[in-house]
Amino acid sequence: MLCCFVSFRAGKAWLVLLAIFLITFMSYLMRCQWFPRLSTGGLKPRYMRCIENGSAVAHQDEDDVMFSADASESWTSKQPRVLEPRRRDVMTVTPWLAPIVWEGTFNQEVIDRIYRNVNLKVGVTVFAVGKYIRFLHGFLETAEKHLLQGYQVHYYIFTDKPSNVPQVELAPGRALTVVQVTKYARWQEISLRRMEIIKHTIQDWLLQEVNFLYCLDVDMLFHHHWGAEVLGSLVAAIHPGYYKVHRSVFPYERRSTSTAYVPIDQGDFYYAGAMFGGYVKNVLRLTEACHAALLTDRLNAIEAAWQEESHLNRYLLHHKPTKVLSPEYLWDDTKQQPPELKVIRFSTVIKNNAKVRENA
């Protein structure tokens, strides 16, 4: 009888051990993303290829990412002098006290000592649909030289031509995933759909994969350091074409029938649609709101003046960015470099719209 009881107990113990092993193994597979990725919302972004260079990162809460400089180090930085502002020629803080990032306003070493202590993973979304695939090589090659050097960066490339994605050597800690998307007939539609696709991608994978997410245009090149000083809760860039003009001439959507409407006497800065980012949760909120607004406009048969850029601007009017990037971080190569721009970090490629746009 006792023998039977012991063997029953031993059998039960084995079952428990087996269950623990299976649960651990399954959760390991999930963390390594060995299961097929599923999408919601009927977009079906298809996982195509993932080049990993370095290990995955555990997801961190937003608060963990805050200023956690290592106090045990003997390193000291130059003392910031309260009565000696680093820049006097430009605005360096918004009326709601968010920093505006310019060369000379930050110490890169201090910033890296804060952020390198935390095991951060930054996602970067890039759309290269139709003829825009030609810009991807230059984008990636220059990003590998200047974009968040020394940090874990995961590029998410959305394209209709996965096999044309160029092979670019990635530094350790960097990864690239290609996602197949539909090509729409109008370039405006391709641009408009980005909010919806980014929203679904965040919901499906990115909340688990990255801490920060930056959404960038592809017809751009990096020329200079674009580093961890861009990291923030909700980040937008001032459009290079409108930082010297009165807000009444900002190209906001001015028809009150659109959800992107901004009255003539409102507005802070005109933000570029080519860059927005921040904590992945905040980018999700932004893309959810802009996607909902875009759907409402579609139902009312109205398309905002600058598509998703108009909706982004309307959103940021009511959800102020916590960090604003100066035009150094998003410049336009058709313009002369003005004296206040000490450096051009990321800039548009001069392109022939008639050649690259589907319906120009």
d(CA 163, CA 53): 20
Contact 323, 230 (CB under 8 A): yes
Is the Cβ of residue 134 or residue 285 nearer to ligand UD2 in the bound state? Answer: 134
CB of 126 to ligand UD2, least distance (A): 6
Per CB under 6 A, 201 contacts ligand UD2: no
Chain positions 116 to 175 lying near ligand UD2, rule: CB under 6 A, are 127-130, 132
Per CB under 6 A, 218 contacts ligand UD2: yes
Residue among 211, 282, 307, 313 that touches ligand UD2 (CB under 6 A): 307
Report the half-sphere exposure of 331 (CA within 13 A, side-chain side).
Answer: 22
Q: Say whether 202 sits in a helix, a strand or coil.
A: helix
d(CA 56, CA 95): 39
Is the Cβ of residue 120 or residue 235 nearer to ligand UD2 in the bound state? Answer: 235
Contact 243, 287 (CB under 8 A): no
Per CB under 6 A, 197 contacts ligand UD2: no
Q: Token pair of 4, please?
A: 């039977």
Total of residues contacting ligand UD2 (CB under 6 A): 22
Among 255, 245, 352, which residue's Cα sits nearest to residue 310? Answer: 255
Per CB under 6 A, 268 contacts ligand UD2: no
Give yes or no: 309 in active site.
yes
CB of 241 to ligand UD2, least distance (A): 8
Is the Cβ of residue 54 or residue 251 nearer to ligand UD2 in the bound state? Answer: 251
d(CA 236, CA 204): 24
Q: Say whether 261 sits in a helix, a strand or coil.
A: strand
CA 302 to chain centre: 27
Q: Token pair of 19, please?
A: 């269950």
Per CB under 6 A, 344 contacts ligand UD2: no
Is the Cβ of residue 228 or residue 236 nearer to ligand UD2 in the bound state? Answer: 236
Residue among 103, 297, 303, 308 that touches ligand UD2 (CB under 6 A): 308
Active-site residues, by number, are 309
Which residues form the interface with ligand UD2 (CB under 6 A)?
127-130, 132, 187, 190-191, 217-219, 239, 272-274, 306-309, 348, 357-358
